[in-house]
Chain A
Amino acid sequence: NAGVMQNPRHLVRRRGQEARLRCSPMKGHSHVYWYRQLPEEGLKFMVYLQKENIIDESGMPKERFSAEFPKEGPSILRIQQVVRGDSAAYFCASSPWGEQPQHFGDGTRLSIL
């Protein structure tokens, strides 16, 4: 019974490159959430998706960031033209439906050179 799977665990990019972070929810979960954690900080909500729909993207920066959760395959968080300030741990969580507790993956640690 696999949990939430995120890959890669670590990702290094140079400024200006693109970063793609993947998240496969737990089996039977159709709701996915992305969070960002800066060092010594709590998690900040970024976006909430269901299959093929963005439900709430109020925490997403207006530019360079996008997220999708296609009918088939994992959810993708995409950061274009990365900058140093994008360095953080990005966590994905999933739940079977919106009201249920969220289960988290181990995160992707993004480092920008």
Chain B
Amino acid sequence: GEDVEQSLFLSVREGDSSVINCTYTDSSSTYLYWYKQEPGAGLQLLTYIFSNMDMKQDQRLTVLLNKKDKHLSLRIADTQTGDSAIYFCAERDDKIIFGKGTRLHILP
């Protein structure tokens, strides 16, 4: 069945780059998304990529898609304390399937 896997925790020093990885199983996914969730809040759409793209860059965010390996990554450059949150990878074919989220912790 459809499944999205991501590591549960990541610790990064302030100012370094954060790379959050995700793997998915549905090769017919049309969109792949990254959402950010801060405590007590809903999900904020950070960025998304069409399945026919390899890369998308948006300011400090870079998304890389390896469709052959079904691997998606989110790189956050110059990580700040405000980036501390849970990041959800999601794939979409007819419905959106979410991973369990990666909790990003920023070290001073």
Contact = CB atoms under 8 A, between A and B. Distances in A.
Interface of A: 4, 6, 33, 35, 40-45, 48, 56, 58-59, 91, 93, 99, 101-107
A6 B96 CA distance: 20
B45 A43 contact: no
Contacts, number: 48
A20 to B, nearest CB: 19
B27 interface: no
Contacts of A56: 94-95
A15 B94 CA distance: 34
Interface string B20-39: 00000000001101010000
Nearest to B4: A42
Given A48-B95, A102-B96, A42 B44 contact: no
B44 A43 contact: no
Nearest to B47: A101
B33 A101 contact: yes
A43 B42 CA distance: 11
Interface in B59-108: 88, 94-101
